[in-house]
Amino acid sequence: MNNHEWAARGNAVFIGTYNRFPAAMVRGSGCRLWDADGREYLDFLAGIAVCSLGHCHPAVTEAIRRQAGALVHVSNLFHTQPQIELAELLVKNSFADRVFMGNSGAEANEAAIKLARIHSGPGKFEIISLSGSFHGRTLATVAATGQPKFHQGFEPLPQGFIHAEFGDPASIEALITPQTCAILCEPLQGESGVRPLEAEYLRAIRSLCDHHGLLLIFDEVQTGLGRTGTLFAHEQLGVTPDIMTLAKALGNGLPIGAMLTTEKIAASLVVGTHASTFGGNPVAAAAAVEVLKIMLADGFLASVQKKSRYFIGRLQEVAARYPQWATGVRGRGLLLGLLLTEKGVAQGMEIVEQMFAQGALINFAGNRVLRFVPPLIVSEAEIDALVAKLCQVFDQLA
């Protein structure tokens, strides 16, 4: 069957929540995808920052096969080896002492929200997040998300979520009340246009939490697991949270999420207060163990930093060559955005569609930037190929 036939079948049965490209992807390897028509694509989306080791990484694939042949599921009424090994790796390589596992970033953030409320005690339930933030699609995480477009049609939203102005610590402090229990933020906002939170700003947020007795929650669902050049983005910013959430890259394509915290805070969740039927599923956990082992190997994160510098340089060349389209680059590691001019913004989706026609996958984020989140194994040659396609599109649209 070809792309058109698969799309027709899908459109006949799915609820229309996605605006899909006219391609049915059937195979992947490294930074490449192939559709049902046999067309090849250079993937600089990585499943939206998920397949950070590329598609069908041999070691991850083997770990999945091996575990699927031994044990797929038994529920969290029992211990399983992959889940324990994964939790040990996360604790050993982070600030945290304890881990809760779910299936997605939204679930990890839900767990963090519940933990912040129960730990803070009666009457303290408000959580402050930032304008432009994105924390998930469940009702609570939608309410925490600081983008009104995601709220529309779902009101009334759960109470207790307040949004402060991005980049302004005074805006946060003005919103703190006796009911406030936590501040929730991403070290770098991906969905609203690749907006980094500077170290000074995060230090100010940490200080506010310490002064007012609040918990600091870092949503590292998109920035975590090597994406910004360190295992976790906050490591390079000198600010440590009380709670951290992970997902996306953790399973390199299999659904898994995690919420990490300290021993003292974790003690507030006792038997019966929270659960997840599939959380830490043995197959997903086995994949995640392999992912972490690869990322923690000598030289891996240094290679991400090196490729980041190279990619930033190439994108800066594009901005200099096409000032009518782009003004600069922002982001960290291999979570980068090419800032567009007004002309570029007006044709942002057209640029993405033309890149798709050229066989390259990117997206338009925050109505402001072209976002690039390639697999962390991307080569300089593949970066050059992506840049060449982007230049070709700009030349065509000129």
Mean pLDDT of the chain: 97
Per CATH, domain 3-56+299-397 is 3.10.20.30: no
Nearest in space to 64 (alpha carbons), one of 292, 294, 290? 290
pLDDT digits (tens, 9 = 90+) for 137-180: 999 999 999 999 999 999 999 999 999 999 999 999 999 999 99
Cis peptide before 323 (omega within 30 of 0): no
Q: Are 341 and 327 in contact (CB under 8 A)?
A: yes
Q: How far apart are CA 175 and CA 194, in angstroms?
A: 25
Element (H, E) at 27: strand 25-29
pLDDT digits (tens, 9 = 90+) for 243-302: 999 999 999 999 999 999 999 999 999 999 999 999 999 999 999 999 999 999 999 999
pLDDT digits (tens, 9 = 90+) for 316-350: 999 999 999 999 999 999 999 999 999 999 999 99
Q: How far apart are CA 5 and CA 24, in angstroms?
A: 9
Q: How far apart are CA 65 and CA 314, in angstroms?
A: 38
In the chain, what are the domain boundaries? Answer: 3-56+299-397, 59-296
pLDDT digits (tens, 9 = 90+) for 70-125: 999 999 999 999 999 999 999 999 999 999 999 999 999 999 999 999 999 999 99
What is the distance, to the nearest Å, from the Cα of residue 226 to the centroid of all Cα atoms in its chain?
A: 11
Second-level CATH architecture of 59-296: 3-Layer(aba) Sandwich (3.40)
Q: Do domains 3-56+299-397 and 59-296 have the same CATH topology?
A: no
pTM for the whole thing? 0.97
* Residues in the chain, total: 398
